Copies of this chain bind each other. A is one copy, B any other.
Amino acid sequence: MTFSELLKGILERVEGSIGIAIMGLDGLAIEQAQVPSKMELGEHVALIATSHATLLRNTMRMSSDTGVGLLNELTLVSDDFRLVVRLIGREYFIILTLGPGGNIGRARFELRKAHLLLEKEFV
């Protein structure tokens, strides 16, 4: 299975999905996919993914400073979007953007499964 197939499969299985990306913590996208009917949100989703690289770097630093332990997962709910982020190794993350009615529980489940597949590639 290619990265692209993996990402598209997640978009199909999680209700309310808009877009998904595998990103480096440096803010560069490695692979991304969009739900075709929601292409008009594409630029938006790319900007959100890139901004999260910075947020995740800060959060990982805070986690280690306060002894919270290694960060694995982050979920954000705002008025307009729901974001589920899963760290892959110490350099990469996968970020799934959902609309306001998106299924966060299913999203977390799918990203945990993807993590198991991806961690061998990203060590």
Interface residues of A (CB under 8 A from B): 44, 47-48, 51, 54-55, 58-59, 62-63, 65-81, 83, 105
Partner of A76, one of B54, B63, B65, B78: B63
Question: What are 29 A-B contacts defined by CB distance under 8 Å?
Answer: A44-B66, A48-B66, A48-B68, A51-B66, A55-B58, A55-B59, A58-B58, A63-B78, A67-B80, A68-B76, A68-B78, A68-B80, A69-B78, A69-B79, A69-B80, A69-B81, A70-B78, A70-B79, A71-B76, A71-B77, A71-B78, A72-B77, A72-B78, A73-B75, A73-B76, A73-B77, A74-B74, A74-B76, A75-B75
- Interface of A: prevailing SS: mixed
